[in-house]
Amino acid sequence: MEHLLIPKHLSIIMDGNGRWAEKKNLPRFEGHKAGLKAVRMVTSESIKAGIKYLTLYAFSTENWKRPQEEVSSLMNLFQEIIEKEKKDLLDNRIKVMFIGQREKLSLPLRLAMTNIEEETKHNSNLVLNIAINYGGRAELCSALKSIGEIILQGNIVPSQITQNLISEHLFTAGLPDPDLLIRTGGELRISNFLLWQIAYTELWFTKTFWPDFSKKQFWQAINDYEKRVRKFGGKI
Ligand code: IPE
Ligand code: IPE
Ligand code: MG
């Protein structure tokens, strides 16, 4: 089913878990747990579609503002999921990567992350890139700090800073920019996701809460993307 017009890199803001649970009179945490089903679905459909990179926004640098109970249950859930999904990820030859600042995460979670990255690093079916404690602005700050160090060491002068150099110092170094960004949950905003990388990304929004995001909607987004005319500022 591989297709020239299929996005090479799909990114998703998986939003609406809390409201999904509240609507059902369940604790918000149940919404986060229920979101795993949609993660599995988009991962396997992405492989079928021929998508090569799938980036999922799981936790932002601003999500620490939430009640401590919600934050810690989410962190435990991430660790559990990584451990539980390992076999399937290996069987499906998926390469797992994480973007975001890891220092603030618990040691057991960080170990689970580096372990799955290490074990899956030679896989090439799909790159599954998960954003945990990720913020676009924090990412740009850290890129500027590393470039500042390179300048201080005398390796380059400021006039040699290029767009490529900046891209190479982001957490997403080596990945192409996303072609398509899907946001579920009804909000029409970016919420600090991939600010630099989405300069020319096609955007697709749905009101559906993340745990209810279906195969049908996944393919609807892909079909809509195929009809978009991408101009990158030029004339077609
Ligand atoms: C997205 O769902 C998941 C995370 C941000 C961790 P939300 O928890 O933001 O759900 P809503 O937007 O409150 O419904
Ligand atoms: C964005 O959703 C972050 C993730 C989906 C992980 P939020 O729920 O945090 O975004 P806002 O607060 O509605 O902008
Ligand atoms: Mg939300």
Of all atoms in ligand 1, which is nearest to the CA of residue 16? 14
Mean pLDDT, rounded, for 108-125? 98
Catalytic residues: 15, 63
Side chain identity at 209, as an amino acid letter?
Answer: F
Q: Is 78 in the pocket of ligand 2 (CB under 6 A)?
A: no
- pLDDT for the residue numbered 87: 97
Which pTM does this prediction carry?
0.97
Q: Is 187 in the pocket of ligand 2 (CB under 6 A)?
A: yes
pLDDT digits (tens, 9 = 90+) for 90-111: 999 999 999 999 999 999 999 9
Cα(120) to ligand 3 centroid in Å equals: 30
Counting ligand 1 atoms within 8 A of each CB, the residue from 19, 130, 134 with the most, and so the one to mutate, is 19
Specify the residue for token string 């990567």.
97
pLDDT digits (tens, 9 = 90+) for 12-44: 999 999 999 999 999 999 999 999 999 999 999
CB crowding 120-147: b at 16 or more within 10 Å, else e: beebeebbbbbbbbbbbebbeeebeeeb
* Average pLDDT value for the chain: 97
Question: What is the CATH architecture assignment of 9-135+177-227?
Answer: 3-Layer(aba) Sandwich (3.40)
Q: Is 211 in the pocket of ligand 1 (CB under 6 A)?
A: no
Q: Please tell me the number of the ligand nearest to residue 61's CA.
A: 2
Pairing of strands 180-183, 9-13: parallel
Domain boundaries, the chain: 9-135+177-227
Task: Return the number of other C-beta atoms located less than 10 Å from residue 30's C-beta.
Answer: 17
DSSP 8-state symbol, 164: H
CB crowding 78-116: b at 16 or more within 10 Å, else e: bbebbeebbeebeebebbbbbbbbeeebeeebbebbeeb
